[in-house]
Chain A
Amino acid sequence: MAARTLINVPKRAKRGKIIAIKTLISHPMENGFRHNNIGVLIPRDIITSFVCTYNGEEIFRATLHPAIAANPFFTFHTVATDSGTIAFRWTGDNGFTTEANADITVE
């Protein structure tokens, strides 16, 4: 089950420059504490982990908890070192996995 994602990574950057990375993913982040209208507990369904790698090397990792709102958004910075691929991976409850990639040219 893959979710829709929105990734914002600059296509080009100067070597050594700090770049901003923004990611958004559609996910309900059901916290597991809510009941439905007939009083039955809605099972927890959240993203538990987010990892970003730059040419295979991990540059950012986050652990997510039930108090995080739906459609989690992450923004963070890194130094543009080499041209290549920045890869994103979200994993969560019920076997949830979604991956996305963005290419960057460093000159």
Chain B
Amino acid sequence: MSALASRAAMLCALLLLLAADGIVAHAEIPLAEKRSGYADMSPENRAMQDDDTVNPGMLAVLDGEALWGAKTGAAGRSCADCHGDATSSMKGVAARYPAFDAKLGRPVDLEQRINICRSEHQQAQPLAYESKDMLALSSYVGMQSRGAPISPADDPRLKPFLDKGRALFTQRQGQLNLSCSQCHDDNWGKNLAGNVMPQAHPTGYPLYRLEWQSVGSLQRRLRNCMIGVRAEPYSYGAPEYVEMELYLMMRARGMKIETPAVRP
């Protein structure tokens, strides 16, 4: 290779590197362009989500409704004994989680809130992430916010956690050395193999994923993506996930909750 050609190749490589580094200054998607994964689904899958007698996520919601009224733990109390009718008391709650817990000094997501309630008020064993009962209860609580706009609390105590979540979202990771942002901020709408890359808004969790053949939480989805870029996922309930959930909810603010959504 001539000296000129090798210099041109080096310049090309440098330019590519610069272009890749330029992504750090990515802009947030404006509200008018925010797009739920629902919009990219086939008409059949959309019909499945829209009809409550066809949406398999409703099976979990019905289980959750039964659990809401069931007495449990040493205290012998049900969720309904304190919170009453979930259709009014839980309306809009999922739209503003994760929320700051003053006692713990950090934000907790809906699943963690359910477990705090269980241990403190019901004196019951905490439910494992992705267990049938946890998914049922979080689906039932989540559905009470269906149609409500995502509106994270304007709480200054959340700021450092939100910043950490944003940093995690934009940080390159894994053997593929990709950040969440490179796909979901910079390249949404394009194809990744046969699939359209979504904007990654957490509008419908817990949702029924056809690939999973079950309902799953946002943390399960985050783990999936981390495994996809060949990074080591955090364990369930890790503070990093809650920080990412917090950032994703802030990023999706104004969008409507779809729980229980259906996704391919």
Is B210 in contact with A26, judged by CB distance below 8 angstroms? no
Q: Taking the complex as formed, is B6 at the interface, i.e. its CB lies under 8 A from any CB of chain A?
A: no
Q: Is B134 an interface residue (CB 8 A)?
A: no
Q: Are A6 and B59 in contact (CB under 8 A)?
A: yes
**Whole-angstrom CA separation of A6 from B213 in the bound complex:** 17
A44 CB to nearest B CB, Å: 15
**Cα-based distance from A8 to B213 in the complex (angstroms):** 21
Indicate which residue in A7, A29, A69 contacts B210 across the interface (CB closer than 8 Å): A69
Q: Are B213 and A70 neighbours in the complex by a CB distance under 8 Å?
A: yes
Contacting B59 at CB < 8 Å: which of A4, A8, A29? Answer: A4
CB <8 Å contact, B56 and A73 = yes
Interface check A89, CB cutoff 8 A: no
Given A69-B210, A69-B213, A70-B214, also A24-B56 (CB < 8 A): yes
How many interface residues does chain B have, given as a range?
10 to 19
Contact A22 B210 (CB under 8 A): no
Number of A-B contacts (CB under 8 A): 36
Q: B62, A6: Cβ atoms under 8 Å?
A: yes
Contacting B at CB under 8 A, from A1-18, are: 4, 6-8
Q: Does the CB pair B53–A71 fall under 8 Å?
A: no
Nearest CB on A from B215, distance (A):
10
Q: Is the CB of B214 within 8 A of A4?
A: no
**Partner among A7, A71, A75 whose Cβ is within 8 Å of the Cβ of B213:** A71
Instruction: Find out whether the CB atom of A8 lies under 8 angstroms from the CB atom of B56.
Output: no
In B50-65, which residues have CB < 8 Å from any A CB? 51-54, 56, 58-59, 62-63
Q: Interface on B for A, CB 8 Å cutoff?
A: 51-54, 56, 58-59, 62-63, 210, 213-214
The 5 closest A-B pairs by CB, nearest first: A8-B53, A70-B213, A26-B59, A71-B56, A6-B53
